Amino acid sequence: MGCVVAANFLAPVLMGLGTSLSLIVAIGAQNAYILKQGIIGRFIWPIALFCIFSDALLIGLGVLGMGALADSAVWVLEVLRWGGGLFLVVYGLFAARRALCPSMLTVTSKESGPQTLAKALLLAAAMTYLNPHTYLDTIVFIGGLAAQQGDSRWFFYAGAVAGSVLWFTFLASCSRFLRSVFANPKAWRVLDAGIAALMFFLAYQIIFSA
């Protein structure tokens, strides 16, 4: 009997964990931002905690059945599509400018990141909530899978949030090991060039995916 109860508990938890990790591990604007802040060594843990909280909130809304509402609010997703795409273009232009102008870089390149916690969290919020795919992944897709779990949907939710906690903790913890590499300003030029290319690519996907 105990084994059956454990299996009924573990199955939705592991499913939620795997689903969450499969969606958030892929390189995106949010992960690129966290990685850079970790290398800089500024506000990394508040940003990581903000991202975890955001995932928990959005996935929770999906589990509560908000997925159908979000899926039907076409105009909201349309506004987010254009707003998020334009934000990523602007962010990418700033990264491209830093990559093309070595005079803008320092050994630590801290000047390239937000200078206050409020600004850092505001950027994290923009990366998270201006991306329409965030809502499709968390509220609609994960929420839809949770609904299929019936009474076990909150175990699924716990697993999905655990996946978010594991990933962002890992990203925040491991990014600091790259600091020695980025003591060289040339490495920052490469990173910013990569970030610019990623932002432009994501902006194109967001704006023209519909």
Average pLDDT rounded to a whole number, residues 38-62: 93
Domain total of the chain: 1
Structural domain for 81, as ranges: 2-208
> What is the separation of C-alpha 189 from the centre of its chain, rounded to a whole number of angstroms?
23
In this structure, the number of other CB atoms found within 10 A of the CB of residue 143 comes to: 29
State pTM to two decimals.
0.76
Give residues with Cβ within 8 angstroms of 190, minimum separation 6: 99
Q: What confidence category does residue 27 fall into, taking pLDDT thresholds of 50, 70 and 90?
A: low
pLDDT (tens digit per residue) in 124-144: 999 899 888 788 788 877 887
pLDDT of 202 reads 79
Give residues with Cβ within 8 angstroms of 5, minimum separation 6: none
Q: 29 and 112 in contact (C-beta within 8 Å)?
A: no
pLDDT of 189 reads 82
Compute the radius of gyration of the chain from its Cα atoms.
Answer: 19
pLDDT (tens digit per residue) in 86-114: 888 888 888 888 788 765 444 445 556 78
pLDDT of 81 reads 74
| Token representation of residue 185 | 């300003």
Per DSSP, helices labelled H in 73-210 are 74-100, 117-129, 132-135, 143-147, 153-174, 185-208
Residue 186 has pLDDT above 50, yes or no: yes
- Amino acid making up residue 120: A
Q: 140 and 67 in contact (C-beta within 8 Å)?
A: yes
- Amino acid making up residue 13: V
Residue 131 sits at the vertex; the CA angle it makes with 77 and 42, to the nearest 5 degrees, is 155
